[in-house]
């Protein structure tokens, strides 16, 4: 179990980080302290693998604590991460490196970034600890053999040969005396072949050993390394001075290699120099891990420094370019409802798509399988023959796509491709792209959420301004209705009846806005919900004997508030008339309300099986206030209506779903 020590004077910070680690990583043993001095003692006693420390503490700040830990014999190999509240500038970074800081994390702490950073450091530490252990084992073996009269060539050959690190020994004349299998793997030559490689050395085979810098570093390791050895060994006539050096060599392997060289003096028990033990270690994976860690940090940091998603994707491409070729790179997002692939970012030498049907594309294949795909042009052809995919765009020699996942849900992919070199990528690049894609997916999702929030805030601000405008207009409407109602008042009973009718009209409008505030988008309201709510309220108000039954048959339709507030007044008048007057001198009756959605209209039919409209009322030229309101508001809504007075009364309203008031 890995030990993680947290050092921070602020108790809440300690609790927060400890909670994050324990929830996301059950295999961590989390230790805590609240002072730099106590942290140093805890580090010496418990030997943690990683220490997280605040950059600012009263007794000893994080930098000083890290320096003390790195200087300690028992804690010098412990990884240190500084938690920093301010922006990480060059001065802070340089100060950290001088004090042995391995990595920085900005506050507030991002849980995914914290776990990723610790995982990377632990992997690096395991690799380095393994190399250190192997070196210590080798040193211990050499020390033990120094107690013998002389190190025999046979024993040393067995020791060196079994070492997984490319290891060889030279004598005082800088000539090879041992060469293990790892050296054979690195150079491609056995020791016998090595002696016979160049014509000028054939005469030395089994007679005189070739010079190290000319043979080991001949044609297979480049001139720069060769010069490195020459420089080190020509500084002295002996190999007594130990040294370490590392560099990148682009011509080794498919994609180049990082190599680290070490040399340690080999002496007998009397201190006499016999030669040197040399190693060449392939540290490419370690360097890649460090670079990935840097890339991951840069991508996370880009979230707070990039204005929009396109620039963010461009920076992702730039950062990824440090670890793999991103000449042809795209980000694809999947819309499940439309089964469409959109490309918010696409840099390509031959093709450019903004979107395309997902179909059987390579992109959709990765999204469906939720697994990385690494294919050559021939493999793509085989998949196409089997009907698994369809080819889209210019064919590429090699293609690599990795899913972007959020909680096991694939939101899209990132992909790279090459049109000329079928060896541009390797299986190792799948690991790199997969590792980085996890952070990219989180950042993309977070960035999209932020942009969506800003978009909705902007829309809601506009909608609220519109609602304010409409409320003012509706107050004018209410004022006008009250004036019309006042004309109808001649007696006390007229006043009471008019007051109740005005209340109903105001409530009908208020109900529309109440439903609007509860709607999902603050722009449209469910017509069926509104009609049922309004009708039941009117039944409660006027059907005191509970003799009216209201039945509904309604499609699910939404319309804007600018239509619904006036439609509500119309429905209020019609439904109120049915409940109050259609069943006069009857014990029961039925009201039927139907709502249908047409292509560009909605149709509302309100009917009853009551006594019908009295003959003295001319429905085409209404004189009553209620029917006049219906006539006036239907004109405003650009709607039409028709009456049927057979077997009761029914009215059919046809209203556009959207109104263009400019016409």
Which residue did the predictor score with more confidence, 420 or 238? 420
Residue 11 in tokens: 């108790």
Tokens of 594: 């139907």
Contacts of 265 (CB under 8 A, 6+ apart): 239, 240, 241, 242, 273, 275, 276
Residue 339: DSSP 8-state: T
Looking at residue 191, what is its pLDDT?
Answer: 63
Give Dmax (Cα) for the chain: 135
Per-residue pLDDT, 367: 92
**Which range, 140-149, 189-198, 266-275, 506-515, has the best average confidence (pLDDT)?**
266-275
- The answer to which of 148-162, 317-331, 535-549 has the lowest mean pLDDT is 148-162
Average pLDDT for 601-607:
92
Q: Which residues pair with 375 in a beta bridge?
A: 399
In three-state form (DSSP H/G/I as H, E/B as E, the rest C), the secondary structure along 366-405 is HHHHCCCEEEEHHHHHHHHHCCCCCCCCCCCCEEEEEEEE
Q: Which pLDDT score is estimated for 196? A: 54
Q: pLDDT tens, 250-260?
A: 666 666 777 78
- State mean pLDDT over 446-472: 71
Instruction: Give the pLDDT of residue 398.
Output: 93
From the list 299, 421, 295, the residue with the least C-alpha distance to 349 is 421
Query: Residues of the chain with pLDDT > 70: what percent?
Result: 73
What pairing do the DSSP bridges indicate for beta strands 103-106 and 79-84?
Answer: parallel
Whether the model pTM is above 0.85: no
500: left (phi over 0), alpha (psi -120 to 50) or beta: alpha
The b-or-e profile of 269-285 (16+ CB within 10 A means b, else e) is eeeeebbbbbbbbbbbe
Percent of the chain with pLDDT over 90: 12
According to DSSP, the residues that pair with 328 across neighbouring strands are none
pLDDT digits (tens, 9 = 90+) for 288-300: 778 777 877 777 6
What's the gap between Cα 398 and its chain centre?
26
Tell which phi-psi region holds residue 432, choosing left (phi > 0), alpha (psi between -120 and 50) or beta. Answer: alpha
Range 131-142 average pLDDT = 78
More confident residue, 42 or 243: 42
Instruction: Please report which helix (H) or strand (E) contains residue 63, including its range.
Output: helix 62-71
How many whole angstroms separate alpha carbon 625 and alpha carbon 641? 17
Q: Decide if pLDDT at 7 tops 60.
A: yes
Residue 298 CA neighbour count, 13 Å, CB half? 19
Confidence of residue 192 (pLDDT cuts 50, 70, 90): low
Name the average pLDDT for the chain.
77
- In this prediction, residue 413 has a pLDDT band, given cuts at 50, 70 and 90, of very high
List pLDDT tens digits, range 517-556. 555 555 678 888 888 888 888 888 888 788 899 999 999 8
- pLDDT tens for residues 199-248? 343 333 334 444 443 444 443 343 444 444 445 544 444 445 566 777 77
Looking at per-residue confidence, does 362 or 620 come out higher?
362
Cβ contact 245:278 at 8 Å: no
Give the pLDDT confidence score for residue 312 in this predicted structure.
80
Lateral strand order in the sheet of 640-644: 548-554, 589-597, 601-608, 649-656, 640-644
Mean pLDDT calculated for residue range 145-153: 56
What is the dihedral angle through the alpha carbons of 131, 135, 137, 138, rounded to the nearest 10 degrees? 140
Give 400's pLDDT tier (boundaries 50, 70, 90): very high
Pairing between β-strand 649-656 and β-strand 640-644 as defined by DSSP bridges: antiparallel
- Lowest-confidence pick of 190-199, 330-339, 505-514: 190-199
More confident call, 23 vs 456: 23
Q: Is the pLDDT of residue 122 over 90?
A: no
Specify which residues 412 forms β-bridges with.
333, 404
Mean pLDDT of 627-640: 82
- Binning pLDDT at 50, 70 and 90, where does residue 116 land? confident
* pLDDT on residue 233: 46
The residue with greater pLDDT, 141 or 386, is: 386
pLDDT at 378 over 80: yes
User: Is the pLDDT higher at 225 or at 358?
Assistant: 358
Q: How many CA atoms lie within 13 A of 232 on its CB side?
A: 22
Is 430 in contact with 374 (CB distance < 8 Å)? Answer: yes
User: Tens digit of pLDDT for each residue in 638-661?
Assistant: 888 888 877 888 899 999 988 765
**Residue pair 404/437 in contact by the 8 Å Cβ criterion:** yes
Lowest mean pLDDT among 191-200, 277-286, 421-430, 564-573: 191-200
Cis omega (within 30 of 0) for bond into 108:
yes
Most confidently predicted of 136-150, 378-392, 480-494, 532-546: 378-392
Instruction: Determine contact, residues 34/41, Cβ cutoff 8 Å.
Output: no
Residue 78: DSSP 8-state: -
The residue among 626 and 599 whose pLDDT is bigger is 599
Assess whether pLDDT exceeds 60 at residue 160: no
Distance of CA 299 to the CA centre of its chain: 10
Evaluate if residue 343 carries a pLDDT over 50: yes
Q: How confident is the model at residue 417 (pLDDT cuts 50, 70, 90)?
A: very high
Q: Look up tokens 């002072």; give the residue.
A: 35
Say if CB 526 and CB 557 are below 8 A apart: yes
Which of the pair, 6 or 136, is modelled with greater confidence? 6
Average pLDDT over residues 265-269: 76
What domains can you pick out in the chain, each with its CATH number?
2-109 (3.40.50.2300), 148-282 (3.30.450.20), 309-454 (3.30.450.40), 488-656 (3.30.565.10)
A 10 A CB-CB count for 631 gives 15
Q: What is the pLDDT of residues 70-101, one digit of tens each?
A: 888 888 888 888 888 766 677 777 888 888 88
The pLDDT value recorded for residue 433 is 84
Res 225: pLDDT: 42
- Does the structure show a pLDDT above 90 at 399? yes
Bridge partners (DSSP) of residue 168 are 179, 278
Q: Is the pLDDT of residue 175 over 90?
A: no
Q: Is 482 a residue whose pLDDT tops 70?
A: no
- pLDDT on residue 309: 76
């Amino acid at each position: 179990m890995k030990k993680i020590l947290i050092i921070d004077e602020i108790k809440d910070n300690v609790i927060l980080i400890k909670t994050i680690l324990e929830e996301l990583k059950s295999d961590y043993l989390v230790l805590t302290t609240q002072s730099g001095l106590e942290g140093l003692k805890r580090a010496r006693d418990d030997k943690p693998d990683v220490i997280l420390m605040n950059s600012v503490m009263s007794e000893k700040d994080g930098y000083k604590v890290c320096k003390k830990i790195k200087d300690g014999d028992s804690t010098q190999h412990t990884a240190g991460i500084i938690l920093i509240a301010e922006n990480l500038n060059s001065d802070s970074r340089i100060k950290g490196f001088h004090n042995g800081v391995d990595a920085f994390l900005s506050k507030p702490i991002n849980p995914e970034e914290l776990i990723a950073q610790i995982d990377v450091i632990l992997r690096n530490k395991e690799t380095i600890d393994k190399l250190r252990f192997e070196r210590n084992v080798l040193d211990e073996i050499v020390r033990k053999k120094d107690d013998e009269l002389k190190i025999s060539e046979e024993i040393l050959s067995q020791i060196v040969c079994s070492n997984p690190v490319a290891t060889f020994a030279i004598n005082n004349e800088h000539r090879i005396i041992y060469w293990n299998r790892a050296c054979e793997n690195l150079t491609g030559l056995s020791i016998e072949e090595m002696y016979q490689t160049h014509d000028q050395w054939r005469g030395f085979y089994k007679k005189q050993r070739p010079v190290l810098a000319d043979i080991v570093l001949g044609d297979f390791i480049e001139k720069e390394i060769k010069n490195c050895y020459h420089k080190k060994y020509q500084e002295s006539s002996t190999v007594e001075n130990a040294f370490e050096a590392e560099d990148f060599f682009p011509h080794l392997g498919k994609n180049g290699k990082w190599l680290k060289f070490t040399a340690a003096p080999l002496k007998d028990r009397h201190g006499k120099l016999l030669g040197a033990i040399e190693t060449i270690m392939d540290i490419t994976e370690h360097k890649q891990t460090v670079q990935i860690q840097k890339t991951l940090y840069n991508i996370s940091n880009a979230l707070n420094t990039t204005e929009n998603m396109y620039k963010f994707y461009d920076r992702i491409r730039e950062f990824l370019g440090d670890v793999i070729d991103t000449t042809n790179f795209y980000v694809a997002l999947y819309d499940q409802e439309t089964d469409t692939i959109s490309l918010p970012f696409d840099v390509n030498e031959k093709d450019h798509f903004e979107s395309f049907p997902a179909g059987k594309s390579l992109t959709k294949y990765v999204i469906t399988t939720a697994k990385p795909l690494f294919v050559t042009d021939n493999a793509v052809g085989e998949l196409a023959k089997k009907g698994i995919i369809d080819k889209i765009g210019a064919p590429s020699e090699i293609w690599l796509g990795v899913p972007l996942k959020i909680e096991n849900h694939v939101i899209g992919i990132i992909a790279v491709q090459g049109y000329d070199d079928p060896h541009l990528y390797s299986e190792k690049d799948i690991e790199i792209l997969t590792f980085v894609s996890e952070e990219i997916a989180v950042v993309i999702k977070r960035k999209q959420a932020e942009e969506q929030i800003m978009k909705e805030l902007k829309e809601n601000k506009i909608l609220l301004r519109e609602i304010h405008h409409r409320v003012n207009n509706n107050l004018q409407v209410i004022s006008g209705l009250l004036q019309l109602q006042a004309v109808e008042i001649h007696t006390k009973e007229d006043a009471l009846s008019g007051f109740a009718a005005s209340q109903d009209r105001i409530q009908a409008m208020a109900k529309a806005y109440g439903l609007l505030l509860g709607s999902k988008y603050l722009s449209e309201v469910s017509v069926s919900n509104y009609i049922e709510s309004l009708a039941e309220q009117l039944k409660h108000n006027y059907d005191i004997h509970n003799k009216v039954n209201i039945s509904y048959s309604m499609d699910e339709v939404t319309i804007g508030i600018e239509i619904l507030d006036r439609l509500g007044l119309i429905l209020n008048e019609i439904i109120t008339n049915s409940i109050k007057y259609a069943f006069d001198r009857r014990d029961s009756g039925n009201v039927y309300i139907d709502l249908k959605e047409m292509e560009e209209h909605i149709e509302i039919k309100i009917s009853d099986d009551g006594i019908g409209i009295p003959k003295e009322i001319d429905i085409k030229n209404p004189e009553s206030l209620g029917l006049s309101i219906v006539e006036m508001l239907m004109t405003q809504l650009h709607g039409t209506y028709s009456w049927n007075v057979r077997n009761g009364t029914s009215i059919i309203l046809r209203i556009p779903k959207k109104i263009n008031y400019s016409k």
